[in-house]
């Protein structure tokens, strides 16, 4: 398969690239900084010009799978009474929501050419049914990403493009922390299995890396 993974320079993104590459897929990773590997592309999902430039650099090749993995979690541990500044809301939504939409939009011709799939790496923290409080910005952004994915699934299904939304687990990365319970490689292998299983019959699914459905 021909795959693009955004936010591939570390954590889950890097593990996804390594997992897909090891099985023979043609994987293009993106990073905000200087691409560290041949064939990778520079991409700042918050910059529409950068998104357009990435798509132009990728070219017209059909795309089998777009993994929208780039994300931020900058309000961890904030206090309700004094935290969650407006700038943090804007910065988080720019990456976790708008960035996903812009990336899908820019690569839509490639996805159409390949009858490809879109995998949005969200979080169970976006579930409205599972809402224990706290992390308001991150939770709201991931809930918006779920909503975005569900609507994209509805609009793209007639074109043969399936869309899935996924929780990678609590993964031991810079974001998840050393106390997390899932290794990045295990999460990546589980996610790739879910991406492989995604079809028009399951488009719009919201599930974890082990295939368990997450309540909206």
In a domain, 52, yes or no: yes
C-alpha–C-alpha distance, residues 125 and 64, integer Å: 28
Range of the domain at 148: 2-208
What is the model's pLDDT at position 138? 97
Distance in angstroms between the alpha carbons of the first and the last residue of the chain: 30
CATH number at residue 156: 3.40.50.720
In a domain, 216, yes or no: no
C-alpha–C-alpha distance, residues 35 and 164, integer Å: 27
Catalytic residue among 73, 84, 136, 138: 138
Give CA separation, 160 vs 178, 187, 203, in Å. 40, 27, 10
Contact 129, 215 (CB under 8 A): yes
In a domain, 23, yes or no: yes
Give CA separation, 216 vs 142, 168, 187, 191, in Å. 11, 16, 21, 19
Contact 27, 39 (CB under 8 A): no
Is 138 an active-site residue? yes
C-alpha–C-alpha distance, residues 183 and 55, integer Å: 31
In a domain, 75, yes or no: yes
In a domain, 130, yes or no: yes
What pTM was estimated for this model as a whole? 0.94
Which one, of 100, 74, 84, lies nearest residue 7 by Cα? 100
C-alpha–C-alpha distance, residues 170 and 6, integer Å: 19
In a domain, 178, yes or no: yes
Which residue ranges of the chain lie beneath pLDDT 70?
A: 171-180
What is the model's pLDDT at position 181? 72
What is the model's pLDDT at position 37? 87
In a domain, 215, yes or no: no
In a domain, 87, yes or no: yes
Specify the number of domains making up the chain.
Answer: 1
Cβ neighbours for 78, distance < 8 A, ≥ 6 positions apart: 84, 88, 135, 136, 137
């Amino acid at each position: 398969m021909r795959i693009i993974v955004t936010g591939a320079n570390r954590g889950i993104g890097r593990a996804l690239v390594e997992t897909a590459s090891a099985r023979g897929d043609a994987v293009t990773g993106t990073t905000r900084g200087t691409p560290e590997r041949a064939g990778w592309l520079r991409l700042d999902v918050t910059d529409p010009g950068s998104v357009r430039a990435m798509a132009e650099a990728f070219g017209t090749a059909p795309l089998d799978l777009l993994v929208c993995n780039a994300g931020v979690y900058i309000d961890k541990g904030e206090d309700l009474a004094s935290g969650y500044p407006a700038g943090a809301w804007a910065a988080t939504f720019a990456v976790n929501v708008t960035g996903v939409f812009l990336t899908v939009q820019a690569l839509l011709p490639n996805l159409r050419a390949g009858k490809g799939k879109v995998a949005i790496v969200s979080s169970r923290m976006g579930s409205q049914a599972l809402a224990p409080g706290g992390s308001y910005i991150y939770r709201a952004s991931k809930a918006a990403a779920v909503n975005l994915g569900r609507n994209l699934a509805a609009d793209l299904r007639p074109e043969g493009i399936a869309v899935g939304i996924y929780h990678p687990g609590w993964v031991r990365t810079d974001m998840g922390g050393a106390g997390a319970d899932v290794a990045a490689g295990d999460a990546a292998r589980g996610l790739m299995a879910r991406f492989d299983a995604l079809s028009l019959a399951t488009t719009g699914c919201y599930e974890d890396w082990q295939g368990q459905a997450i309540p909206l």
